[in-house]
A = this chain, B = another copy of it.
Amino acid sequence: MEKLQFASDYMEGAHPRILERLMETNLEKTAGYGGDPYTERARQKIREATEAPEAEVYFLAGGTQTNAVVITSLLRPWQGVVAADSGHISVHEAGAIEAGGHKVFTVPNREGKLRAGEVRELLQRYKSDENRDHMVEPGMVYISQPTESGTLYSLEELKELSGVCRRYGVFLYVDGARLAYALACPENDVSLPDLARLTDLFYIGGTKCGALFGEAVVIPKPGLIPRFFTLIKQRGALLAKGRIAGIQFETLFTGGLYQQIGERAICAADRIRRALKEKGYEFAFDSPTNQIFVALTPEQRARLAEKAELSFWEIRPDGRTVMRIATSWATEEEDVDRLIGLL
């Protein structure tokens, strides 16, 4: 019998409705580089969903690419970006931001999150430092929703961060690689229009939320990044067949599909979470979304590893290994049952 697969939320192809649309439109001829009607309709649907009628929307291929292109295009050469020390750009992007010339200022995370007060302190410290002309200026704050630890910023927390950023004239950018799983989570109170209102730019994740690939960068106030199209090209991120991304996002934002994709994953994750709790497993973070982090003893890890593929997160000083269980739109009820059986 095959191993159970709970290692990540990007183990399948795409939601079937996406493939269907690619099939239906396959032989039409359209302009390249995003100049096609599908891409335009996808932009329009995202403007509606975010209630940002003026927004610029760009489609890129993956998360690290999107972060690198957005951050290095928006920052000026003397600026850096503030992130949690657990942030994807801080740890798991092979130094893409620094390779693009910018410092990542790290702040210790609190369950994967930045606290507004700590960000304010960092910004104020720079502002009051008499040697600041010899220092990198923090020009942007990066957060993820949900975070890399599966946790969520509340609307209140997001407002506070947004307030701090605006007071200090610093951009706020949200990495929404798994945004569907935040939007579908009952604990969540941050909507797409909230993101458009409270941040300077963010991206709506496709790759990890049911697309073959693709992330939609939303810039609510147009003109934020001059010559962004050319910069996307320069960084190797411009899709010749831009419509492949456009069709996918048009589909995701038609008939509530993006929301449904999130819900199915959350539903499966909730069942697993309850089972873990009942059986006394220790959670590494208190995450309500589609990623569950359990701290396993070497014995527990070895036993589970025989039957289920989970994903390595980190080794803790206490010797336990934190492993990630991820669900997705494609997680089968029956696989959840079997996993629960194993625990």
Contact = CB atoms under 8 A, between A and B. Distances in A.
Interface of A: 5, 7-8, 10-14, 16, 19, 22-23, 25-32, 61-69, 72-73, 76-78, 80, 91-96, 98-104, 106, 125, 128-131, 133-137, 207-208, 212-213, 226-227, 229-231, 233-241, 243-244, 312, 314-315, 330
A238 B64 contact: yes
Oligomeric state, in copies: 4
Contacts of A29: 5, 11-12, 330
A261 to B, nearest CB: 14
Contact of A234 (B73, B94, B125): B94
Given A19-B22, A28-B12, A63-B240, A99 B213 contact: no
A22 B13 contact: yes
A79 to B, nearest CB: 8
Contacts of A27: 12-13, 330
A78 B231 contact: yes
A227 B13 contact: no
Contact of A19 (B7, B23, B30, B240): B23
Contacts of A234: 77-78, 93-96, 99
Nearest to A321: B130
A128 B100 CA distance: 27
Given A95-B136, A98-B101, A236 B235 contact: yes
A117 to B, nearest CB: 13
A136 B98 CA distance: 10
Contact of A136 (B5, B31, B94, B240): B94
A137 B226 CA distance: 13
A135 B241 contact: no
Contacts of A239: 61-62, 213
Contact of A94 (B22, B73, B230, B241): B230
29 contacts: A5-B29, A10-B240, A13-B243, A14-B26, A19-B19, A19-B23, A22-B22, A29-B330, A61-B213, A62-B236, A62-B240, A69-B236, A78-B227, A91-B135, A93-B134, A93-B233, A94-B233, A95-B136, A98-B136, A99-B101, A103-B104, A129-B314, A133-B229, A135-B230, A137-B230, A212-B212, A212-B241, A235-B236, A236-B237
